[in-house]
Every structure is written in C-alpha cells, then in structure tokens.
Amino acid sequence: MEILLDVVRVEARADHTLLLEFENGEMRVFDMAPWLEKRPFQPLKDLSLFAKASVGQGTVVWPGDLDIAPETLYDLGKGSGLNTVILVPSEPTPRA
C-alpha cells in the first residue's frame, strides 16, 4: 500500500510550476503547463489566479474550488534539488 503524503507548503512560480514541500520534508517541482489546456484548470492560465495557490486539506488549492490530488503532485513532480543536506562540523578541525 502506498503512503499518501500531504503537501505542507506551496510556492506558485511565474512559469506555471509549483514548488512543493511534502510532509516528509521532500521538495518537488510540478509543472502545471500541460494541465492548463484541460478542464477544470484552464482558468489557471491567468498568472494572477495561479499565484493564489495555497495549501488546503493536504493539497494545493485555488479560489473557485480548484485543486489537484496530492498523489498526482508527488508522483509526477520532479525532485527540486533543494533537499540536499550540507553537513557543517560543529567544532573547527584542528590544524596539523
């Protein structure tokens, strides 16, 4: 059984992509452009509406009762490259 992950943060970008953070801390980018020709997403071609993306009920929602399933966002989203962990030593390394 697949685990369903909730979206906890969304950033709508001017190129019709969504930067998403899921509850497991993973970041993904979802390209909405191919979906904008399909009902009911056609109104999101308007960037002022697209920019109103927010998180509701564990997924991305827009005014006008538009939403998209979180499993679609996760499964079709691409890794953002933003969840790279950088380890920084807590103490300076002694010099020889």
Q: Mean pLDDT in each 10-residue stretch from start to end of the chain (96 residues)?
A: 85 97 95 96 98 98 97 92 49 56
Task: Give pLDDT, residue 84.
Answer: 41
- DSSP secondary structure letter of residue 76: H
Task: Give pLDDT, residue 78.
Answer: 93
Task: Give pLDDT, residue 66.
Answer: 97
Domains by residue range for the chain, with CATH: 7-79 (3.30.2020.10)
Task: Give pLDDT, residue 85.
Answer: 41
Bin 8: left if φ > 0, else alpha if -120 < ψ < 50, else beta: alpha
Q: How far is CA 65 from CA 53, 82, 90, 92, in A?
A: 11, 30, 48, 53
pTM score = 0.81
Q: First-to-last CA distance in the chain?
A: 54
> Which helix H or strand E contains 60, and what residues bound it?
strand 59-62
